[in-house]
Amino acid sequence: MLKKCVVLLGMMAAVGLRPVRAQNDVVLSLAAGREDAEKLMGAYLGPFGQAFSLGLAQNWNQTAKPLKLLRFNVQAGLSLVAIPGDNQYFYPENLGLNNLRPIDARATTLAGPSNVNTAYLVQVSDPLNPGNTLVLDTLSGLTPGLGLGHVPAPFVQLNVGLPKGTEISLRLLPRSSLDGLAGDISALPGQLRENGNLTFWGVGVKHSLSQYLPRLLKVVPIDLSAYVNHCVIEYRQVVRIAGPTPADYPRGINGVITGYRYVGGQSPADITTQELVLGSNASSAGIILSKKIALFTPYVRAGLMRSSFSVAADGQYDVPTALVINSQSSGTLIQEYSNLNKPVEIKTRVDNLTHYGVGLRVKILVLMAYAEMVQMGHWTTYNAGLSVGF
């Protein structure tokens, strides 16, 4: 499961782990304005982020009956959140972009088909020709799809019985480098393997309601419990995106941009501060009802959940922010750069989403296996796993 988690984080970080040229393209897109860049990346990452964070809120309980005092089991499982078809694409023209111009009408989200990769033009006002625009660059690697019809969220969990019909569940992975987590991860980019760190934790509580309903249980012998849980995952990766150099110029159409300078006498950014930070948290609360029948325990549940997903470029970056007329050379321009802190931060969240699910657990001695389906608005999750306990 840890290996699956590592691969998953590799996919999560794909937007920041393409070759250096593509990394510079992401920063270069800020030349069209921070607002444009955040709108585009929000539309591109949003559905994947929502699906992944909703997956974290799943797969905590497979029976309403809490473990007895000091009994425990270890559980491992996987949630697969289906991405609806209309969430695998977006239309850049509908985002209200100012200076980024898509070459194609439709673009794929991160979870969408891998054979779609829309290119974008970066256009800004041309100081030499007021009222006209100047194409700074063509960016072709910003929004590639990964072909993920279902987004996986793996986990490992410890469940322990407490007094008064209560059970606590823990998920924990201390801050760890990806190199030391699991097996062969050679398929991941070297920068991810060497410079990435993952932190993951979660806690859940289940409490029996059946103990307060003895008369009802004589008529309907079932187990009924309330539950609440919260889970957080964070991935940090060191990046090094250097600022401009004289070798980058001249550039633009016919080399009209002949050089660069920093606004207000600023110094180049300290690239040692740069990190790509991806984070997600999810919470859910509800009730679960189950009935043990020999080796089988069917169960149903319902409740509310909320989740969030964020991507941020932490640290300082040299970002092109303006074009000005070159007073030293007629008919040419100078590109101005600013030293910006955290130039990109994208957040997406889902609040108070109703969920309901049905599942079946099978127990043979100390080994248990389960599968369930959960519906969350237009999102569908398929959960499965194994546990061993005493």
Q: Where are the domains of the chain?
A: 2-389
How far apart CA 201 and CA 279 sit, in angstroms, is 12
pLDDT along the chain (390 residues), means of 10: 33 32 48 77 85 87 94 91 88 89 87 81 86 81 80 89 96 66 40 66 96 84 95 87 87 84 90 89 95 95 93 87 89 90 86 92 93 91 90
Identify the pLDDT of residue 236: 86
CA distance 196 to 192: 5
* Distance from C-alpha of 326 to C-alpha of 261, rounded to nearest angstrom: 11
**pLDDT score of 194:** 53
User: Partners of 134 in the beta sheet?
Assistant: 124
Q: What is the DSSP letter of 161?
A: E
CB contact at 8 A, 333 and 257: yes
Q: For residues 100 and 121, what is the distance between their CA atoms, to the nearest angstrom?
A: 6
- What integer pLDDT is reported at residue 320 of this predicted model? 82
pTM, two decimals, is 0.79
